[in-house]
Structure 1
Amino acid sequence: MRKHVLLVDGMALLFRAYYSTAMMNNFMINSQGLPTNAIHGFTRHLLTAIDTFNPTHVISCWDMGSHTFRNDLFPDYKANRSAPPENLVPQFDRVKEMTSAMDIPNVGIPGYEADDCIGTLASHYQDEADVTILTGDQDILQLLDDHVRVALLKKGYGNYDTYEAPRFIEEKGITPKQMIELKAMMGDTSDHYPGVRGIGEKTALKLLIQHGSLDAILNNLDTLTKAQRTKFEADLDMVHLSRQLAEIRCDAGVSCDLNEALYQPEREKVIAKFNEFEFKRLGERI
Protein backbone atom coordinates (compact mmCIF):
# COMPACT_ATOMS: atom_id res chain seq x y z
CA MET A 1 0.00 0.00 0.00
CA ARG A 2 1.32 3.44 -0.94
CA LYS A 3 2.15 5.66 2.02
CA HIS A 4 0.13 8.81 2.67
CA VAL A 5 1.94 11.61 4.50
CA LEU A 6 0.07 14.49 6.13
CA LEU A 7 2.36 17.55 6.39
CA VAL A 8 0.89 20.02 8.87
CA ASP A 9 1.59 23.75 8.80
CA GLY A 10 1.74 24.00 12.57
CA MET A 11 1.97 27.80 12.64
CA ALA A 12 -1.11 28.20 10.43
CA LEU A 13 -3.19 25.86 12.59
CA LEU A 14 -2.00 27.41 15.86
CA PHE A 15 -2.68 31.02 14.83
CA ARG A 16 -6.07 30.13 13.35
CA ALA A 17 -7.03 28.28 16.52
CA TYR A 18 -5.94 31.20 18.70
CA TYR A 19 -7.77 33.96 16.86
CA SER A 20 -10.98 31.99 16.36
CA THR A 21 -11.41 31.81 20.14
CA ALA A 22 -9.61 34.99 21.21
CA MET A 23 -12.20 37.06 19.35
CA MET A 24 -14.72 35.79 21.90
CA ASN A 25 -12.29 36.27 24.80
CA ASN A 26 -12.15 32.51 25.26
CA PHE A 27 -8.57 31.91 26.39
CA MET A 28 -9.15 28.61 28.27
CA ILE A 29 -6.80 29.27 31.18
CA ASN A 30 -6.09 25.99 32.97
CA SER A 31 -5.55 25.53 36.69
CA GLN A 32 -1.81 26.13 36.27
CA GLY A 33 -2.48 29.56 34.75
CA LEU A 34 -1.53 28.47 31.23
CA PRO A 35 -3.67 29.80 28.36
CA THR A 36 -4.55 26.77 26.23
CA ASN A 37 -7.07 28.00 23.65
CA ALA A 38 -4.62 27.81 20.74
CA ILE A 39 -3.29 24.39 21.79
CA HIS A 40 -6.81 23.04 22.17
CA GLY A 41 -7.96 24.39 18.80
CA PHE A 42 -4.78 23.18 17.11
CA THR A 43 -5.34 19.69 18.49
CA ARG A 44 -8.96 19.65 17.31
CA HIS A 45 -7.90 20.76 13.82
CA LEU A 46 -5.17 18.11 13.75
CA LEU A 47 -7.39 15.24 14.92
CA THR A 48 -10.16 16.26 12.54
CA ALA A 49 -7.77 16.31 9.58
CA ILE A 50 -6.38 12.90 10.53
CA ASP A 51 -9.93 11.52 10.66
CA THR A 52 -10.72 13.12 7.30
CA PHE A 53 -7.62 12.24 5.29
CA ASN A 54 -6.60 9.02 7.07
CA PRO A 55 -2.82 9.43 6.63
CA THR A 56 -0.35 6.68 7.41
CA HIS A 57 2.25 9.24 8.52
CA VAL A 58 1.98 12.71 10.11
CA ILE A 59 4.60 15.45 10.52
CA SER A 60 4.16 18.97 11.90
CA CYS A 61 6.32 21.81 10.59
CA TRP A 62 7.13 25.03 12.44
CA ASP A 63 8.82 28.41 12.09
CA MET A 64 11.94 28.63 14.23
CA GLY A 65 12.00 32.32 15.11
CA SER A 66 10.96 35.30 13.03
CA HIS A 67 14.23 35.95 11.16
CA THR A 68 14.81 33.96 7.97
CA PHE A 69 16.95 34.18 4.85
CA ARG A 70 14.15 36.28 3.32
CA ASN A 71 14.82 39.01 5.89
CA ASP A 72 18.46 38.97 4.81
CA LEU A 73 17.34 39.47 1.20
CA PHE A 74 14.73 42.09 2.05
CA PRO A 75 14.78 43.58 5.58
CA ASP A 76 11.15 44.74 5.27
CA TYR A 77 9.90 41.19 4.68
CA LYS A 78 6.90 40.71 7.00
CA ALA A 79 7.80 43.99 8.69
CA ASN A 80 4.10 44.81 8.93
CA ARG A 81 3.46 41.87 11.27
CA SER A 82 2.75 42.79 14.87
CA ALA A 83 4.20 40.86 17.78
CA PRO A 84 2.20 37.75 18.72
CA PRO A 85 -0.42 38.27 21.44
CA GLU A 86 0.79 37.83 25.00
CA ASN A 87 -1.58 34.92 25.64
CA LEU A 88 -0.30 33.07 22.58
CA VAL A 89 3.43 33.26 23.34
CA PRO A 90 3.54 30.56 26.08
CA GLN A 91 1.58 28.21 23.82
CA PHE A 92 4.26 28.13 21.08
CA ASP A 93 6.48 25.62 22.87
CA ARG A 94 3.75 23.79 24.75
CA VAL A 95 1.83 22.87 21.59
CA LYS A 96 4.85 20.84 20.46
CA GLU A 97 4.51 18.79 23.64
CA MET A 98 1.08 17.80 22.36
CA THR A 99 2.33 16.65 18.96
CA SER A 100 5.23 14.82 20.59
CA ALA A 101 2.79 13.02 22.88
CA MET A 102 0.99 11.87 19.72
CA ASP A 103 4.35 10.62 18.32
CA ILE A 104 4.17 13.23 15.57
CA PRO A 105 7.63 14.63 14.72
CA ASN A 106 8.12 18.40 14.99
CA VAL A 107 10.27 19.73 12.15
CA GLY A 108 11.82 23.18 11.79
CA ILE A 109 15.15 24.80 10.99
CA PRO A 110 16.46 28.27 11.90
CA GLY A 111 16.58 30.64 8.95
CA TYR A 112 13.66 29.06 7.13
CA GLU A 113 9.88 29.15 7.45
CA ALA A 114 7.56 26.24 8.07
CA ASP A 115 6.58 26.50 4.37
CA ASP A 116 10.16 25.75 3.34
CA CYS A 117 10.23 22.70 5.59
CA ILE A 118 6.96 21.51 4.08
CA GLY A 119 8.27 22.08 0.55
CA THR A 120 11.49 20.22 1.28
CA LEU A 121 9.76 17.23 2.87
CA ALA A 122 7.07 17.07 0.18
CA SER A 123 9.74 16.93 -2.53
CA HIS A 124 11.54 14.16 -0.61
CA TYR A 125 8.46 12.02 -0.10
CA GLN A 126 6.45 12.37 -3.29
CA ASP A 127 8.22 9.56 -5.14
CA GLU A 128 7.27 7.02 -2.49
CA ALA A 129 4.12 8.52 -0.96
CA ASP A 130 1.06 10.63 -1.56
CA VAL A 131 1.38 13.91 0.31
CA THR A 132 -1.41 16.07 1.72
CA ILE A 133 -0.41 19.50 3.03
CA LEU A 134 -2.71 20.97 5.69
CA THR A 135 -2.55 24.77 5.89
CA GLY A 136 -4.50 27.98 5.64
CA ASP A 137 -1.91 29.64 3.40
CA GLN A 138 -2.62 29.71 -0.34
CA ASP A 139 1.07 30.34 -1.08
CA ILE A 140 1.61 26.60 -0.61
CA LEU A 141 -0.44 25.91 -3.74
CA GLN A 142 2.83 26.38 -5.67
CA LEU A 143 3.87 22.96 -4.30
CA LEU A 144 1.03 21.07 -5.99
CA ASP A 145 2.33 18.13 -8.01
CA ASP A 146 1.32 14.68 -9.21
CA HIS A 147 1.47 13.25 -5.69
CA VAL A 148 1.11 16.45 -3.67
CA ARG A 149 -2.25 18.01 -2.83
CA VAL A 150 -3.15 20.90 -0.53
CA ALA A 151 -6.04 21.07 1.94
CA LEU A 152 -6.78 24.70 2.78
CA LEU A 153 -8.53 25.23 6.10
CA LYS A 154 -11.91 26.92 5.88
CA LYS A 155 -14.09 28.30 8.67
CA GLY A 156 -14.87 25.84 11.41
CA TYR A 157 -13.51 22.32 11.86
CA GLY A 158 -13.40 19.71 9.11
CA ASN A 159 -14.04 22.12 6.26
CA TYR A 160 -11.34 22.09 3.58
CA ASP A 161 -10.82 23.51 0.12
CA THR A 162 -8.74 20.71 -1.34
CA TYR A 163 -6.60 21.35 -4.38
CA GLU A 164 -4.84 18.98 -6.73
CA ALA A 165 -2.70 20.24 -9.61
CA PRO A 166 -5.33 19.76 -12.38
CA ARG A 167 -7.89 21.87 -10.52
CA PHE A 168 -5.38 24.67 -10.00
CA ILE A 169 -4.37 24.66 -13.67
CA GLU A 170 -8.01 24.69 -14.78
CA GLU A 171 -8.97 27.56 -12.48
CA LYS A 172 -5.89 29.76 -12.87
CA GLY A 173 -4.71 28.94 -16.38
CA ILE A 174 -1.14 28.58 -15.13
CA THR A 175 0.87 25.80 -13.50
CA PRO A 176 1.40 25.72 -9.73
CA LYS A 177 5.08 26.63 -10.16
CA GLN A 178 4.09 29.72 -12.16
CA MET A 179 2.39 31.01 -9.02
CA ILE A 180 5.87 32.07 -7.90
CA GLU A 181 6.20 34.39 -10.90
CA LEU A 182 2.63 35.60 -10.49
CA LYS A 183 3.42 36.69 -6.94
CA ALA A 184 6.72 38.18 -8.05
CA MET A 185 4.76 40.61 -10.20
CA MET A 186 1.73 41.30 -7.99
CA GLY A 187 3.59 41.29 -4.68
CA ASP A 188 2.17 40.19 -1.35
CA THR A 189 0.72 42.65 1.14
CA SER A 190 0.64 40.01 3.87
CA ASP A 191 4.36 39.29 3.54
CA HIS A 192 5.04 42.97 2.83
CA TYR A 193 6.87 42.93 -0.47
CA PRO A 194 5.64 45.04 -3.37
CA GLY A 195 6.41 43.13 -6.57
CA VAL A 196 5.88 45.51 -9.50
CA ARG A 197 4.00 48.49 -8.11
CA GLY A 198 0.82 49.11 -10.03
CA ILE A 199 0.61 45.57 -11.45
CA GLY A 200 -2.23 43.66 -9.81
CA GLU A 201 -3.19 40.00 -9.94
CA LYS A 202 -5.46 40.34 -12.97
CA THR A 203 -2.80 42.02 -15.13
CA ALA A 204 -0.01 39.77 -13.85
CA LEU A 205 -2.04 36.65 -14.62
CA LYS A 206 -2.93 37.90 -18.10
CA LEU A 207 0.71 38.66 -18.91
CA LEU A 208 1.90 35.34 -17.54
CA ILE A 209 -0.62 33.36 -19.60
CA GLN A 210 0.23 35.42 -22.69
CA HIS A 211 4.03 35.18 -22.42
CA GLY A 212 4.50 31.93 -20.49
CA SER A 213 7.08 33.13 -17.97
CA LEU A 214 8.31 36.18 -16.12
CA ASP A 215 11.60 36.08 -18.02
CA ALA A 216 9.71 36.11 -21.32
CA ILE A 217 7.76 39.16 -20.14
CA LEU A 218 10.95 40.96 -19.13
CA ASN A 219 12.60 40.06 -22.44
CA ASN A 220 9.67 41.51 -24.36
CA LEU A 221 8.86 44.70 -22.48
CA ASP A 222 8.49 46.50 -25.79
CA THR A 223 5.33 44.46 -26.48
CA LEU A 224 3.61 45.73 -23.32
CA THR A 225 1.52 48.87 -23.08
CA LYS A 226 3.50 52.01 -22.30
CA ALA A 227 2.07 52.14 -18.78
CA GLN A 228 2.93 48.49 -18.08
CA ARG A 229 6.44 48.85 -19.50
CA THR A 230 7.07 51.92 -17.34
CA LYS A 231 6.00 50.03 -14.20
CA PHE A 232 8.23 47.04 -14.94
CA GLU A 233 11.22 49.23 -15.81
CA ALA A 234 10.81 51.12 -12.54
CA ASP A 235 10.80 47.90 -10.49
CA LEU A 236 13.11 45.52 -12.34
CA ASP A 237 15.28 44.83 -9.29
CA MET A 238 12.23 44.39 -7.06
CA VAL A 239 10.50 41.89 -9.35
CA HIS A 240 13.61 39.68 -9.34
CA LEU A 241 13.86 39.99 -5.57
CA SER A 242 10.15 39.31 -5.14
CA ARG A 243 10.53 36.08 -7.10
CA GLN A 244 13.12 34.92 -4.57
CA LEU A 245 10.85 35.90 -1.68
CA ALA A 246 7.79 34.19 -3.17
CA GLU A 247 9.44 30.85 -3.88
CA ILE A 248 9.03 28.18 -1.23
CA ARG A 249 12.42 26.52 -0.90
CA CYS A 250 12.55 22.77 -1.36
CA ASP A 251 16.18 22.48 -0.25
CA ALA A 252 15.94 23.72 3.33
CA GLY A 253 18.16 20.96 4.70
CA VAL A 254 15.50 19.33 6.88
CA SER A 255 14.70 15.64 6.88
CA CYS A 256 12.51 13.22 8.75
CA ASP A 257 12.66 9.45 8.47
CA LEU A 258 9.15 8.29 7.64
CA ASN A 259 9.57 5.43 10.11
CA GLU A 260 9.57 8.08 12.84
CA ALA A 261 6.40 9.67 11.46
CA LEU A 262 4.20 6.56 11.34
CA TYR A 263 0.92 7.58 12.94
CA GLN A 264 0.37 5.07 15.72
CA PRO A 265 -0.18 7.15 18.87
CA GLU A 266 -0.17 5.47 22.27
CA ARG A 267 -3.57 6.29 23.70
CA GLU A 268 -2.42 6.37 27.33
CA LYS A 269 0.38 8.84 26.56
CA VAL A 270 -1.94 11.13 24.62
CA ILE A 271 -4.64 10.99 27.29
CA ALA A 272 -2.05 11.87 29.93
CA LYS A 273 -1.12 15.00 27.95
CA PHE A 274 -4.80 15.88 27.47
CA ASN A 275 -5.26 15.57 31.24
CA GLU A 276 -2.20 17.73 31.88
CA PHE A 277 -3.63 20.48 29.69
CA GLU A 278 -7.12 19.79 31.14
CA PHE A 279 -8.71 18.96 27.79
CA LYS A 280 -11.63 16.94 29.10
CA ARG A 281 -13.49 16.15 25.90
CA LEU A 282 -10.72 15.29 23.45
CA GLY A 283 -9.93 11.84 24.82
CA GLU A 284 -12.67 10.17 22.83
CA ARG A 285 -10.98 11.35 19.60
CA ILE A 286 -7.95 9.10 20.10
Structure 2
Amino acid sequence: MTNQKPSLMLVDGMALLFRAFYATAVTGQFMINSNGTPTNGIHGFVKHLFTAVSSFKPSHLAVCWDMGSKTFRTELFSDYKGNRGEAPIELIPQFDLVKEVVASFDIPNIGLAGYEADDCIGTIANQSKDLARVSILTGDQDMLQLLDDSISVILLKKGYGNYLVHTPETFFEDKGITPRQMIDLKALMGDTSDNYPGVKGIGEKTALKLLQEFEHVEGIISNLDRLSKSNKTKIEQDLEMLHLSRLLAEIKCDVPVSCALDDASLRIEKEKAVNKLMELELRGLQRLLPIDEMFVS
Protein backbone atom coordinates (compact mmCIF):
# COMPACT_ATOMS: atom_id res chain seq x y z
CA MET A 1 0.00 0.00 0.00
CA THR A 2 1.39 3.43 -0.92
CA ASN A 3 1.84 6.01 1.76
CA GLN A 4 -1.05 8.35 1.37
CA LYS A 5 -0.37 12.04 1.81
CA PRO A 6 -1.83 13.51 4.98
CA SER A 7 -4.92 15.67 4.50
CA LEU A 8 -4.99 19.15 6.02
CA MET A 9 -8.30 20.97 6.43
CA LEU A 10 -7.99 24.74 6.84
CA VAL A 11 -11.12 26.23 8.36
CA ASP A 12 -12.36 29.78 7.78
CA GLY A 13 -13.36 30.35 11.41
CA MET A 14 -15.24 33.59 10.80
CA ALA A 15 -17.33 32.09 8.01
CA LEU A 16 -18.45 29.21 10.25
CA LEU A 17 -19.04 31.35 13.33
CA PHE A 18 -21.08 34.04 11.51
CA ARG A 19 -23.12 31.45 9.63
CA ALA A 20 -23.89 29.59 12.86
CA PHE A 21 -24.70 32.79 14.75
CA TYR A 22 -27.09 34.24 12.16
CA ALA A 23 -28.86 30.93 11.56
CA THR A 24 -30.20 31.00 15.13
CA ALA A 25 -30.13 34.75 15.86
CA VAL A 26 -33.05 35.36 13.48
CA THR A 27 -35.35 33.55 15.85
CA GLY A 28 -33.67 35.03 18.93
CA GLN A 29 -32.21 31.69 20.09
CA PHE A 30 -28.94 32.97 21.57
CA MET A 31 -28.57 30.02 24.00
CA ILE A 32 -27.65 32.15 27.03
CA ASN A 33 -25.78 30.07 29.64
CA SER A 34 -25.95 30.52 33.41
CA ASN A 35 -23.18 33.17 33.27
CA GLY A 36 -25.39 35.20 30.96
CA THR A 37 -23.11 34.51 27.97
CA PRO A 38 -24.67 33.77 24.57
CA THR A 39 -23.24 30.61 22.98
CA ASN A 40 -25.34 30.04 19.84
CA GLY A 41 -22.50 30.91 17.45
CA ILE A 42 -20.00 28.67 19.25
CA HIS A 43 -22.50 25.80 19.37
CA GLY A 44 -23.17 25.98 15.63
CA PHE A 45 -19.47 26.48 14.87
CA VAL A 46 -18.52 23.26 16.69
CA LYS A 47 -21.34 21.44 14.94
CA HIS A 48 -20.21 22.68 11.50
CA LEU A 49 -16.60 21.82 12.33
CA PHE A 50 -17.13 18.22 13.38
CA THR A 51 -19.80 17.51 10.77
CA ALA A 52 -17.14 18.41 8.19
CA VAL A 53 -14.50 16.33 10.00
CA SER A 54 -16.76 13.28 9.90
CA SER A 55 -17.61 13.91 6.21
CA PHE A 56 -14.06 14.54 4.92
CA LYS A 57 -11.92 12.79 7.57
CA PRO A 58 -8.89 15.10 7.54
CA SER A 59 -5.80 13.91 9.43
CA HIS A 60 -4.80 17.51 10.23
CA LEU A 61 -6.79 20.65 11.00
CA ALA A 62 -6.20 24.36 11.69
CA VAL A 63 -8.64 27.27 12.09
CA CYS A 64 -7.88 30.77 10.74
CA TRP A 65 -9.43 33.99 12.05
CA ASP A 66 -9.70 37.68 11.20
CA MET A 67 -7.95 39.75 13.87
CA GLY A 68 -9.99 42.95 13.87
CA SER A 69 -11.37 44.97 10.97
CA LYS A 70 -8.26 47.06 10.19
CA THR A 71 -6.20 45.37 7.48
CA PHE A 72 -3.93 46.39 4.63
CA ARG A 73 -7.07 46.44 2.47
CA THR A 74 -8.76 49.12 4.61
CA GLU A 75 -5.51 51.11 4.30
CA LEU A 76 -5.75 50.87 0.50
CA PHE A 77 -9.47 51.66 0.35
CA SER A 78 -11.15 53.10 3.43
CA ASP A 79 -14.63 51.95 2.30
CA TYR A 80 -13.51 48.30 2.09
CA LYS A 81 -16.23 46.27 3.88
CA GLY A 82 -17.58 49.66 4.97
CA ASN A 83 -21.13 48.44 4.39
CA ARG A 84 -20.93 46.04 7.32
CA GLY A 85 -22.34 47.23 10.61
CA GLU A 86 -20.91 46.55 14.04
CA ALA A 87 -21.03 42.93 15.20
CA PRO A 88 -24.23 42.18 17.16
CA ILE A 89 -23.79 42.54 20.92
CA GLU A 90 -24.61 38.83 21.46
CA LEU A 91 -21.80 37.77 19.13
CA ILE A 92 -19.00 39.85 20.67
CA PRO A 93 -18.20 37.60 23.70
CA GLN A 94 -18.26 34.56 21.42
CA PHE A 95 -15.23 35.70 19.37
CA ASP A 96 -12.75 34.89 22.16
CA LEU A 97 -14.65 31.97 23.62
CA VAL A 98 -14.83 30.08 20.33
CA LYS A 99 -11.02 30.25 20.10
CA GLU A 100 -10.77 28.83 23.63
CA VAL A 101 -13.00 25.95 22.54
CA VAL A 102 -10.83 25.31 19.45
CA ALA A 103 -7.71 25.39 21.66
CA SER A 104 -9.31 22.81 23.98
CA PHE A 105 -9.42 20.44 20.98
CA ASP A 106 -5.65 21.05 20.47
CA ILE A 107 -6.41 22.57 17.09
CA PRO A 108 -4.24 25.60 16.16
CA ASN A 109 -5.94 29.03 16.04
CA ILE A 110 -4.16 31.19 13.45
CA GLY A 111 -4.59 34.88 12.71
CA LEU A 112 -2.46 37.96 12.11
CA ALA A 113 -3.33 41.60 12.72
CA GLY A 114 -3.46 43.57 9.48
CA TYR A 115 -4.55 40.56 7.40
CA GLU A 116 -7.74 38.61 6.89
CA ALA A 117 -8.29 34.94 7.66
CA ASP A 118 -8.30 34.42 3.85
CA ASP A 119 -4.68 35.59 3.63
CA CYS A 120 -3.60 33.22 6.42
CA ILE A 121 -5.45 30.36 4.73
CA GLY A 122 -3.89 31.17 1.33
CA THR A 123 -0.41 31.33 2.83
CA ILE A 124 -0.67 28.09 4.81
CA ALA A 125 -2.37 26.27 1.92
CA ASN A 126 0.54 27.17 -0.35
CA GLN A 127 3.14 26.27 2.28
CA SER A 128 1.51 22.88 2.88
CA LYS A 129 0.34 21.75 -0.56
CA ASP A 130 3.47 19.73 -1.35
CA LEU A 131 3.28 17.89 1.97
CA ALA A 132 -0.47 17.34 2.22
CA ARG A 133 -3.72 17.35 0.32
CA VAL A 134 -5.25 20.64 1.42
CA SER A 135 -8.95 21.45 1.68
CA ILE A 136 -10.41 24.80 2.70
CA LEU A 137 -13.73 24.82 4.57
CA THR A 138 -15.55 28.12 4.08
CA GLY A 139 -18.76 29.76 2.93
CA ASP A 140 -16.78 32.36 0.99
CA GLN A 141 -16.54 32.08 -2.80
CA ASP A 142 -13.44 34.33 -2.77
CA MET A 143 -11.43 31.30 -1.66
CA LEU A 144 -11.99 29.67 -5.06
CA GLN A 145 -9.02 31.67 -6.41
CA LEU A 146 -6.78 29.40 -4.26
CA LEU A 147 -7.83 26.19 -6.05
CA ASP A 148 -4.90 24.16 -7.22
CA ASP A 149 -4.10 20.52 -8.05
CA SER A 150 -3.44 19.95 -4.34
CA ILE A 151 -5.96 22.45 -2.93
CA SER A 152 -9.74 21.96 -2.97
CA VAL A 153 -12.40 24.29 -1.57
CA ILE A 154 -15.38 22.96 0.39
CA LEU A 155 -18.20 25.52 0.30
CA LEU A 156 -20.80 25.26 3.06
CA LYS A 157 -24.35 25.16 1.77
CA LYS A 158 -27.55 25.71 3.77
CA GLY A 159 -27.96 23.52 6.85
CA TYR A 160 -25.36 21.11 8.25
CA GLY A 161 -23.46 18.55 6.20
CA ASN A 162 -24.30 20.06 2.80
CA TYR A 163 -21.24 21.00 0.75
CA LEU A 164 -20.19 21.98 -2.73
CA VAL A 165 -16.63 20.77 -3.28
CA HIS A 166 -14.63 22.61 -5.92
CA THR A 167 -11.45 21.58 -7.71
CA PRO A 168 -9.76 23.53 -10.55
CA GLU A 169 -11.68 21.29 -13.00
CA THR A 170 -15.14 21.88 -11.52
CA PHE A 171 -14.40 25.60 -11.26
CA PHE A 172 -13.45 25.74 -14.95
CA GLU A 173 -16.59 23.80 -15.89
CA ASP A 174 -18.65 26.25 -13.86
CA LYS A 175 -17.11 29.57 -14.92
CA GLY A 176 -15.03 28.90 -18.05
CA ILE A 177 -11.97 30.54 -16.47
CA THR A 178 -9.10 29.34 -14.26
CA PRO A 179 -9.11 29.91 -10.49
CA ARG A 180 -6.42 32.63 -10.72
CA GLN A 181 -8.59 34.53 -13.20
CA MET A 182 -11.19 34.86 -10.45
CA ILE A 183 -9.08 37.75 -9.08
CA ASP A 184 -9.45 39.59 -12.40
CA LEU A 185 -13.14 38.70 -12.52
CA LYS A 186 -13.68 40.42 -9.16
CA ALA A 187 -11.48 43.36 -10.23
CA LEU A 188 -13.82 43.94 -13.18
CA MET A 189 -17.21 43.32 -11.56
CA GLY A 190 -16.38 44.45 -8.01
CA ASP A 191 -17.76 42.81 -4.88
CA THR A 192 -20.86 44.16 -3.17
CA SER A 193 -20.29 42.18 0.03
CA ASP A 194 -16.76 43.58 0.42
CA ASN A 195 -17.98 46.97 -0.80
CA TYR A 196 -15.68 47.79 -3.69
CA PRO A 197 -17.09 48.74 -7.07
CA GLY A 198 -14.80 47.35 -9.79
CA VAL A 199 -15.72 48.89 -13.14
CA LYS A 200 -19.14 50.58 -13.13
CA GLY A 201 -21.51 48.90 -15.57
CA ILE A 202 -19.52 45.67 -16.04
CA GLY A 203 -21.25 42.59 -14.66
CA GLU A 204 -20.20 38.96 -14.43
CA LYS A 205 -21.27 38.01 -17.96
CA THR A 206 -19.23 40.74 -19.67
CA ALA A 207 -16.29 40.23 -17.31
CA LEU A 208 -16.15 36.48 -18.05
CA LYS A 209 -16.32 37.13 -21.79
CA LEU A 210 -13.45 39.63 -21.61
CA LEU A 211 -11.31 37.26 -19.54
CA GLN A 212 -11.95 34.32 -21.84
CA GLU A 213 -10.75 36.49 -24.71
CA PHE A 214 -7.92 38.53 -23.16
CA GLU A 215 -6.89 36.36 -20.18
CA HIS A 216 -6.39 39.03 -17.50
CA VAL A 217 -6.81 42.71 -16.63
CA GLU A 218 -3.49 43.63 -18.29
CA GLY A 219 -4.54 41.77 -21.44
CA ILE A 220 -7.83 43.66 -21.54
CA ILE A 221 -6.14 47.03 -20.99
CA SER A 222 -3.59 46.45 -23.74
CA ASN A 223 -6.42 45.57 -26.16
CA LEU A 224 -8.84 48.38 -25.33
CA ASP A 225 -9.21 49.27 -29.02
CA ARG A 226 -10.63 45.81 -29.73
CA LEU A 227 -13.45 46.23 -27.18
CA SER A 228 -16.92 47.56 -27.92
CA LYS A 229 -17.10 51.32 -27.62
CA SER A 230 -19.20 51.12 -24.45
CA ASN A 231 -16.91 48.62 -22.64
CA LYS A 232 -13.85 50.60 -23.68
CA THR A 233 -15.34 53.80 -22.23
CA LYS A 234 -16.38 52.09 -18.98
CA ILE A 235 -12.90 50.67 -18.41
CA GLU A 236 -11.09 53.90 -19.33
CA GLN A 237 -13.27 55.85 -16.92
CA ASP A 238 -12.65 53.42 -14.06
CA LEU A 239 -9.06 52.39 -14.72
CA GLU A 240 -7.80 53.41 -11.29
CA MET A 241 -10.62 51.57 -9.51
CA LEU A 242 -9.97 48.51 -11.70
CA HIS A 243 -6.35 48.32 -10.50
CA LEU A 244 -7.35 49.01 -6.89
CA SER A 245 -10.13 46.39 -7.00
CA ARG A 246 -7.63 43.83 -8.23
CA LEU A 247 -5.37 44.50 -5.24
CA LEU A 248 -8.36 44.16 -2.89
CA ALA A 249 -9.58 40.94 -4.54
CA GLU A 250 -6.32 39.03 -4.42
CA ILE A 251 -5.74 36.81 -1.41
CA LYS A 252 -2.17 37.31 -0.22
CA CYS A 253 -0.27 34.03 0.00
CA ASP A 254 2.95 35.36 1.50
CA VAL A 255 1.94 36.70 4.90
CA PRO A 256 4.22 35.96 7.88
CA VAL A 257 2.27 33.04 9.35
CA SER A 258 3.03 29.35 9.33
CA CYS A 259 1.62 26.13 10.69
CA ALA A 260 3.83 23.06 10.99
CA LEU A 261 1.91 20.01 9.86
CA ASP A 262 2.71 18.20 13.13
CA ASP A 263 1.12 20.98 15.16
CA ALA A 264 -2.12 20.57 13.22
CA SER A 265 -2.39 16.82 13.72
CA LEU A 266 -5.95 16.01 14.79
CA ARG A 267 -5.51 14.51 18.28
CA ILE A 268 -8.24 15.44 20.68
CA GLU A 269 -7.92 14.79 24.41
CA LYS A 270 -11.43 13.78 25.27
CA GLU A 271 -11.43 14.93 28.90
CA LYS A 272 -9.98 18.36 28.12
CA ALA A 273 -12.42 18.89 25.24
CA VAL A 274 -15.49 17.72 27.15
CA ASN A 275 -14.56 19.82 30.21
CA LYS A 276 -14.45 22.96 28.08
CA LEU A 277 -17.82 22.18 26.48
CA MET A 278 -19.35 21.55 29.91
CA GLU A 279 -17.86 24.74 31.34
CA LEU A 280 -19.66 26.76 28.65
CA GLU A 281 -22.78 24.54 29.03
CA LEU A 282 -22.58 23.49 25.38
CA ARG A 283 -24.60 20.35 25.88
CA GLY A 284 -25.00 17.60 23.34
CA LEU A 285 -21.86 18.50 21.42
CA GLN A 286 -19.54 15.85 22.85
CA ARG A 287 -21.27 13.18 20.79
CA LEU A 288 -20.06 15.04 17.68
CA LEU A 289 -16.42 14.88 18.73
CA PRO A 290 -14.46 12.51 16.47
CA ILE A 291 -14.84 8.84 17.41
CA ASP A 292 -12.92 7.33 20.28
CA GLU A 293 -10.03 5.79 18.33
CA MET A 294 -8.97 9.33 17.36
CA PHE A 295 -8.78 10.44 20.96
CA VAL A 296 -5.63 10.55 22.96
CA SER A 297 -6.72 9.31 26.36
1:145 aligned to 2:162? no
Deviation per CA, 1:208-257, whole angstroms, max 9, x where unpaired? 10112211110011111111111000011110111000000001111111
Match for residue 72 of structure 2 among 69, 74, 87: 69
Partner residue in 1 for 2:230: 227
**AA aligned opposite 1:43:** V
1:40 aligned to 2:17? no
Deviation per CA, 1:247-274, whole angstroms, max 9, x where unpaired? 0000111111111110010001111011
3-state SS in 2 of match to 1:90: helix
1:216 aligned to 2:219? yes
3-state SS in 2 of match to 1:134: strand
Q: Whole-Å Cα distance in 1 between the matches of residues 226 and 152 of structure 2? A: 36
Partner residue in 2 for 1:31: 34
Shift of 1:23: 0.7
Deviation per CA, 1:16-60, whole angstroms, max 9, x where unpaired? 000000011100000111100000000000010111110010000
Partner residue in 2 for 1:274: 277
Partner residue in 2 for 1:169: 172
Partner residue in 1 for 2:92: 89
Please list, as runs of the form range in 1=range in 2, the aligned pairs for 1:93-242 lying within 5 A after superposition. Answer: 93-242=96-245
Shift of 1:195: 0.5
CA RMSD of aligned residues (A): 0.6
Q: Whole-Å Cα distance in 2 between the matches of residues 283 and 68 of structure 1? A: 36
Unmatched 5+ stretches in structure 1: none
**AA aligned opposite 1:127:** D
Match for residue 54 of structure 2 among 30, 51, 55: 51
Shift of 1:110: 0.5
Partner residue in 1 for 2:294: none
Q: More displaced, 209-218 or 64-73?
A: 209-218
Q: Whole-Å Cα distance in 1 between the matches of residues 122 and 49 of structure 2? A: 19
Q: Whole-Å Cα distance in 1 between the matches of residues 243 and 234 of structure 2? A: 14
Partner residue in 1 for 2:256: 253
Q: Whole-Å Cα distance in 2 between the matches of residues 285 and 268 of structure 1? A: 14
Q: Whole-Å Cα distance in 2 between the matches of residues 74 and 284 of structure 1? A: 45
Shift of 1:132: 0.7
Percentage of matched positions with identical amino acids: 59
3-state SS in 1 of match to 2:99: helix
3-state SS in 2 of match to 1:146: coil
Unmatched 5+ stretches in structure 2: 290-297
Partner residue in 2 for 1:8: 11
Shift of 1:136: 0.2
**AA aligned opposite 2:173:** E
3-state SS in 2 of match to 1:162: strand
Deviation per CA, 1:34-91, whole angstroms, max 9, x where unpaired? 1000000000000101111100100000000100000111111111110000000000
Partner residue in 1 for 2:288: 285
Q: Whole-Å Cα distance in 2 between the matches of residues 213 and 132 of structure 1? A: 26
Shift of 1:10: 0.1
3-state SS in 2 of match to 1:78: coil
**AA aligned opposite 1:222:** D
